[in-house]
Amino acid sequence: MGRLFGTDGVRGVANADLTAELALGLSVAAAHVLAEAGTFEGHRPTAVVGRDPRASGEFLEAAVVAGLASAGVDVLRVGVLPTPAVAHLTGVLGADLGVMLSASHNAMPDNGIKFFARGGHKLADELEDKIEAVYEEHRTGAPWERPTGAGVGRVRDFGEGFETYVAHLMSVLPNRLDGLKIVLDEAHGAAARVSPEAFSRAGAQVVTIGAEPDGLNINDGCGSTHLDLLKAAVVEHGADLGIAHDGDADRCLAVDASGNEVDGDQILAVLALAMREVGTLRGDTVVATVMSNLGFKLAMEREGLNLVQTAVGDRYVLESMKDNGYALGGEQSGHVIVLDHATTGDGTLTGLMLAARVAATGKSLADLAGVMERLPQILINVKDVDKSRVNTSGELAAAVADAERELGSTGRVLLRPSGTEPLVRVMVEAADIEQARAVAQRLADVVKSALG
């Protein structure tokens, strides 16, 4: 059996890969593993369970709740809320476990299960491995120990979760948004109620699109993976800016008043300068991945800020932040982590902080995002090659060295084997897009011949 847990929980096509039986079994296994680890010692355990609005989330939530309660865990069912809201509630309610049912930016047929440890942090890898091993052991025959009588878990709806989370967002907002007109694209997802409420309470004039989830339309042509609707709406309504979330609202991308995209790198740059100004950017350091645009790195150097780069994936960004005490990190895709106020990427919080900076400075989002120039970036996926040899080929190393000499300090080359497919990603940045395209194609040809 392949590993169930990926970098962001267990994910697959709902009712095909991710079945009710799997959801129930993993929930029981999680309860047993956490009990053995001493998490529940001395008290009756509690879990917070939330979901995004996908139709499949209804039966998967029922399975997760049944599994936890059957293992003696009391369940607070918070309903449809963003992933960062479930993480926050897990922390502030003192719960032993949080469970979010969502496949984030994936298409509607997919779903996923993400577990949070006490405090609202992602479960450690070794605990995920243990849960998977225990699940597999019992799936193939060993019976569970089950409580009876008063020992079974109790289930109740926790409708206060919405207000608790929105109040938290308001409490950490640095300043109000009065005078701003903002278009919000909620991707017909988990933030369809939360985000408009938060921006309105903060004083913004709000226009919403993609805020009518019906269980089937999540991420469908809208949200952070499809910005065209938001760009058009911002221009049409004469808004100051637009904010786009994905299905579970842990991401945020933005659009300026002219309808131009402002990506995660630019958002990070704006927030980094804002946080340095008020003394909350610890170590004057921002954490990002190796896929961040070279323009971001150059901007941080110019502003006298340090940049720590990690492997691709918000989990690696978060690890670096926690290990070294940094306050801000994120990805080009819009996963932005403000660790003083959230334990995970929080799209609503990010959007609020970005809008707050616009309001506080009186500058347009385009002006603020202009702190960095996004260099042209060409990405070519070279398929059907032996990706395991990408770091050992002398021919490839020589070609990369030649390319780096040609590009100089204003260009960059990155070759990366895909984590899930038999392909190598060739990424080239340069001040001139035609040069970037030519160098990328030349390297892709070498990858094909050297590793094919």
- Residue 74 annotated in ligand binding: no
Q: Of the residues 27, 56, 102, 104, which is catalytic? A: 104
Per-residue buried b or exposed e for 293-314, using 16+ beta carbons within 10 Å of the residue's own CB? bbbbbbbbeeeebebebbebbb
DSSP result, 171-200 = HH-SS--TT-EEEEE-TTSTTTTHHHHHHH
Tokens 């926790």 label which residue? 158
Tokens 């990366």 label which residue? 416
| Residue 189, both tokens | 């997802």
Q: Around Cβ 193, how many Cβ atoms within 10 Å?
A: 17
- Residue 246 annotated in ligand binding: yes
The torsion of the CA quartet 196, 201, 202, 208, rounded to 10 degrees, works out to 20
- Residue 104 annotated in ligand binding: yes
Beta bridge partners of residue 417, listed in sequence order: 424
- Residue 248 annotated in ligand binding: yes
- What Rg value do the Cα atoms of the chain yield, rounded? 23
Tell me, yes or no, if 333 is annotated catalytic: no
DSSP result, 376-402 = -EEEEEEESS-GGGTTT-HHHHHHHHH
Residue 447 neighbours by CB under 8 Å, 6+ apart? 382, 385, 390, 396, 415, 424, 426
Known binding site: residues? 104, 246, 248, 250
Active site residues: 104
Known binding site for Mg(2+): residues? 104, 246, 248, 250
